[in-house]
Amino acid sequence: MLFVGFLLNLIMTTTQIKTEIQKVLDGVPENALQDVLDFLKELQSSSVEQIKLTNNLRQILVEDRQLLEKLAQ
């Protein structure tokens, strides 16, 4: 699933991505909008290396979710 999203992002233009982000934002609950804004501001001030590290960690957590849940029990 992540791979498909990755390929889609390679094909999409910046304008298309921003349009998709706006569509998603329109569906975000009002009480979560501040969190989204804070996240985007934090992302804006992050280095490319920090963003890569965060993406890699997120991918590991998604891929190993079942294992991590078993370890937590």
- Condensed to tens digits (0 to 9), the pLDDT of residues 14-62 reads 888 899 999 999 999 999 999 999 988 988 898 989 989 988 888 888 8
Please tell me the predicted confidence (pLDDT) of residue 28. 93
Cβ contacts of residue 2 below 8 Å, gap of 6+?
59, 62
Vertex 68: Cα angle to 62 and 69 (nearest 5): 105
pLDDT score, position 11: 74
Domain ranges of the chain: 2-72
pTM of this prediction? 0.55
pLDDT of residue 6: 62
- Res. 8: pLDDT tops 70: no
